[in-house]
Amino acid sequence: MIITWDNISEVNRRIEERDLAYKVHLSDACGGQSMWIESMDKANHFDNLDDLNDLIKGYFSEIHADVEFSWDKKSFWSKDRSLIF
């Protein structure tokens, strides 16, 4: 599945709505897509990542996409790397 800029905008809207101090970014290259999480906290803290990751998983589940997180929970990608929209 291809993750679109609209998907990232919607995730960021939901993050802001829940007052979580993060922003999700999309990296798109020939080898595939990945997303990474930026802390918007001035001290660059990464607290509440479990809440954030649950929000992200929930949104992508709604659009029938399954995501997998890195070991540090600061980046993720679609498990399905096909070109299905």
Asked if residue 35 is part of any domain, the answer here is yes
Considering the entire predicted model, what is its pTM? 0.86
Which residues make Cβ contacts (< 8 Å) with residue 9, sequence separation at least 6?
none
| Residue pLDDT, tens place only, 3-60 | 999 999 999 999 999 999 999 999 987 767 899 999 998 888 888 799 999 999 999 9
Whole-number pLDDT of residue 23: 97
What is the residue range of 48's domain? Answer: 5-78
Asked if residue 12 is part of any domain, the answer here is yes
Asked if residue 84 is part of any domain, the answer here is no
Q: What string of DSSP letters covers the chain?
A: -PPPHHHHHHHHHHHHHTT--EEEEEEEETTEEEEEEEE-STT-----HHHHHHHHHHHHHHTT--EEE-TTSSEEEES--S---
Q: How many structural domains is the chain composed of?
A: 1
